[in-house]
């Protein structure tokens, strides 16, 4: 560890570092990040790009009295290092270790937990208003990337900042502008910021003009005041659109986001301002590590890698569910020109980059705007197109109202392809896809499917694109399960697939948890039991005919799902049995009413009791 970084053990220790050594400290922090993230994996490029911004904040502010909210939070590693947590970085994103996002329970300096995009300005405004109501004078800062600024919630918050302008109360927004979210940014805001980048620094120009005018004897100060009040002042000439200033937010930029001294000057000036201020800092994602600078998307979130070459230590050997989805959609779109694909700033993560390559005019990246994506898809469907919205499960949550009102009420044929459904591992609580069954299965007109393995996916997708109504398919992160490939019955609406007949107990497996359920069946057979096994396939509509057959045959019915039990498939089966006056013993296994922390998926399954050994134990305990 570097000699300067070694001196930082508690919050505010950075203030003891000599200002002339700040660039050296920045190098040491980048070296520390590379050494640690190359071993644990994590969000690298975003943190390398935010080193100087975070240092400047810690130099200008005092923690935990002052407050910083990091949008998404995947760029908060440097903040953690500077607040006394650097010795825990060997445990980053591991079970019981350091979280990869800000976490209130982890440190007083993490004032607001984040993990999803575009929330920072809203949260910071809440903190600032609470500060003012309590008559305190601490500084509140929101750090937001230009990618997160494409999310609608950010504009709702910007609009509401008039609260502070009216009361002449301060809040600082730092726009960390690197032209990237996970992938390259798209849309009107991206073009607006590109235009701003091409202009000479407005703040520098304005200061120079005002300074020169003020020095003119007699008339200079009067002219400067007049210019400030004029609607056609120099601001209108040099900032296209004046978006921020017209919303009552003083714009300060452009600032070199890798010049620590320029950043310190900007933050200290912003602290003295009455009303909200936006500092527009230009940074480079992956700064200081050539591999990440060349390919920031690859190093946005990465597993353990070789620092010298940048290559992953664990080589990909199997296709992922995302790969199968991507290949299948490209193949289906070849013969169906009405298929269009939509992503919310995740073309690579969702597998739609290949669709874009083959069908660029039928591909739409709407930015970080899931609500808009859903209703945009509904509009396409209303005109006879077959829209496919590929989205992570935890991100689709933001479009719930639009799914219900704009898609399902109108019975529009939108196909939701829900990636990262179920447990996702190291990203932790904010990214687990364990609520989608609960928030989709109760909506009228919605069809919800889950394939047991990679082979089943293409058939489900073909079925979905021929279905005349809202339909969703959920599938997990990671490599496909290749077992049970010999079982591949045709996909029929609301029909499950019987894998094994049995006698003592039957297991109803939802989606990819089939891998654990199949192992559990083998273990039970070895112990002398005779279990049945069913691939649920359709969560909604349920296969009620099969459920009646199972209820007549098996004394014990077991449901297994990688979803919250509340509102999950198990509760749906329970309600069916109760309604129809069946008295079978029902054992529902899933996530039992808690937020799942970061760990490996295997560890998370074991904790939830849905790994093979736990399933076997639960069944034997119940039978005995």
Paired with 172 in beta bridges are: 141, 277
Dihedral sign of CA atoms 344, 345, 351, 353 in order:
positive
Nearest to 423 by CA among 253, 568, 603: 603
| Residue 148, annotated as binding a ligand | yes
Tokens of 367: 């930015």
Q: What is the 3-state secondary structure (H, E, C) of 395-416?
A: HHHHHHHHHHHHHHCCCCCCEE
Dump the DSSP string for 344-405: SS-TTTTTTHHHHHH-GGGEEE--S-HHHHHHHHHHHHHTT-EEEEEEEHHHHGGGHHHIII
Distances (CA, A) of 101 to 70, 110, 245, 430, 528: 9, 9, 31, 9, 47
How far apart (Å, rounded) are the C-alpha atoms in residues 460 and 442?
A: 21
State which H helix or E strand residue 57 sits in.
helix 51-60
CA dihedral 301→307→311→317, nearest 10 degrees, is -80
| Residue 115, annotated as binding a ligand | yes
| Residue 405, annotated as binding a ligand | no
Residue with tokens 């209820």: 551
| Residue 280, annotated as binding a ligand | no
Task: Choose, from 30, 285, 452, 605, the residue flagged as catalytic.
Answer: 285
| Residue 289, annotated as binding a ligand | yes
How far is the first Cα of the chain from the last one, in angstroms, to the nearest whole number?
Answer: 57
State which H helix or E strand residue 564 sits in.
strand 556-564
| Residue 117, annotated as binding a ligand | yes
Active site residue 370: yes
Distances (CA, A) of 513 to 137, 138, 421, 448, 516: 52, 49, 11, 16, 6
How far apart (Å, rounded) are the C-alpha atoms in residues 6 and 24?
A: 13
Paired with 282 in beta bridges are: 177, 256
Nearest to 324 by CA among 499, 480, 175: 480
Vertex 146: Cα angle to 143 and 150 (nearest 5): 110
Active site residue 398: yes
| Residue 116, annotated as binding a ligand | yes
| Residue 523, annotated as binding a ligand | no
Task: Choose, from 52, 262, 297, 370, the residue flagged as catalytic.
Answer: 370
Task: Choose, from 80, 356, 398, 420, the residue flagged as catalytic.
Answer: 398
Length of the chain equals 624
Inter-residue contact 142 to 71 (CB < 8 Å): yes
| Residue 79, annotated as binding a ligand | no
| Residue 71, annotated as binding a ligand | no
Q: In terms of DSSP bridges, do strands 386-392 and 363-365 run parallel, antiparallel, or are they unpaired?
A: unpaired
Active site residue 515: no
Q: Which residues are annotated as a binding site?
A: 74, 115-117, 146-148, 178, 289, 370
Catalytic residue positions? 285, 370, 398
Q: Which residues are annotated as a binding site for Mg(2+)?
A: 146, 178
Q: Which residues are annotated as a binding site for thiamine diphosphate?
A: 74, 115-117, 147-148, 178, 289, 370
């Amino acid at each position: 560890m570097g000699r300067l970084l070694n001196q930082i053990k508690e919050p505010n220790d950075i203030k003891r570092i000599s200002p002339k050594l700040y660039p050296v400290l920045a190098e040491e922090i980048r070296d520390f990040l590379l050494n640690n993230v190359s071993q644990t994996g994590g969000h690298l490029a975003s943190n390398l790009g935010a080193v100087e911004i975070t240092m400047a904040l810690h130099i200008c502010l005092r923690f935990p009295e002052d407050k910083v909210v990091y949008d998404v939070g995947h760029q908060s590693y440097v903040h953690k290092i500077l607040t006394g947590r650097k010795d825990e970085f060997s445990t980053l994103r591991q079970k019981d270790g350091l979280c990869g996002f800000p976490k209130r329970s982890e440190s007083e300096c993490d004032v607001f937990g984040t993990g999803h995009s575009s929330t920072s300005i809203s949260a910071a405004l809440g903190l600032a208003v609470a500060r003012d109501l309590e008559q305190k004078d601490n500084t509140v800062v929101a750090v937001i990337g230009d990618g997160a600024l494409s999310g609608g919630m950010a504009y709702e918050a910007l609009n509401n900042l008039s609260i502070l302008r009216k009361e002449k109360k301060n809040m600082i927004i730092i726009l960390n502008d690197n032209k990237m979210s996970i992938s390259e940014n798209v849309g009107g805001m991206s073009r607006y910021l590109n235009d701003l980048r091409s202009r000479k620094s407005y703040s520098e120009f304005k200061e120079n003009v005002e300074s020169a005018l003020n020095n003119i004897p007699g008339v200079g100060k009067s002219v400067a005041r007049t210019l400030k009040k004029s609607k056609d002042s120099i601001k209108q000439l040099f900032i296209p659109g004046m978006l921020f200033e017209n919303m009552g937010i003083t714009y300060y930029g452009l600032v070199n986001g890798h010049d620590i001294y320029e950043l310190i000057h900007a933050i200290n000036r912003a602290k003295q301002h009455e009303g909200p201020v936006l500092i527009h800092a230009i940074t480079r994602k992956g700064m200081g590590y050539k591999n990440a600078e060349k390919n920031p998307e690859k190093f946005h979130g990465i597993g353990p890698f070789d620092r010298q070459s940048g290559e992953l230590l664990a080589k990909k050997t199997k296709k992922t569910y995302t790969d199968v989805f991507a290949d299948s959609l490209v193949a289906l779109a070849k013969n169906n020109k009405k298929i269009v694909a939509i992503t919310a700033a995740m073309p690579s993560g969702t597998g739609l980059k290949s669709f874009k390559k083959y069908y660029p005019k039928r591909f739409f990246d709407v930015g970080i705007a899931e609500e808009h994506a859903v209703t945009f898809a509904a509009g396409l469907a209303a005109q006879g197109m077959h829209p496919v919205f590929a989205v992570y499960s935890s991100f689709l949550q933001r479009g719930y109202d639009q799914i219900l009102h704009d898609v399902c009420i109108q019975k529009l044929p939108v196909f939701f392809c829900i990636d990262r459904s179920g447990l996702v591992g190291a990203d932790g609580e904010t990214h687990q896809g364990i609520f989608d069954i609960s928030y989709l299965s109760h909506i009228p007109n919605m069809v919800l499917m889950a394939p047991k393995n990679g082979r089943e996916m293409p058939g489900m997708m073909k079925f979905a694109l021929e279905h005349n109504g809202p339909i969703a398919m959920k599938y997990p992160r990671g490599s496909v399960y290749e077992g049970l490939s010999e079982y591949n019955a045709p996909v029929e609406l609301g029909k499950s697939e019987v894998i094994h007949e049995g006698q003592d107990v039957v297991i109803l497996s939802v989606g990819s948890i089939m891998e654990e359920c199949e192992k559990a069946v083998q273990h039970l057979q070895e112990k002398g039991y005779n279990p049945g096994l069913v691939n649920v396939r359709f969560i909604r509509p349920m296969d009620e005919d099969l459920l009646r057959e199972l209820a007549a045959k098996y004394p014990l019915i077991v449901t297994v799902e990688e979803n919250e039990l509340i509102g999950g498939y198990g509760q749906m089966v329970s309600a069916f049995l109760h309604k129809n006056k069946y008295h079978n013993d029902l054992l529902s296994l899933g996530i039992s009413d808690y937020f799942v922390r970061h760990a490996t998926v295997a560890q998370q399954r074991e904790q939830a009791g849905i790994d093979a050994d736990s399933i076997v134990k639960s069944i034997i305990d119940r039978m005995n």
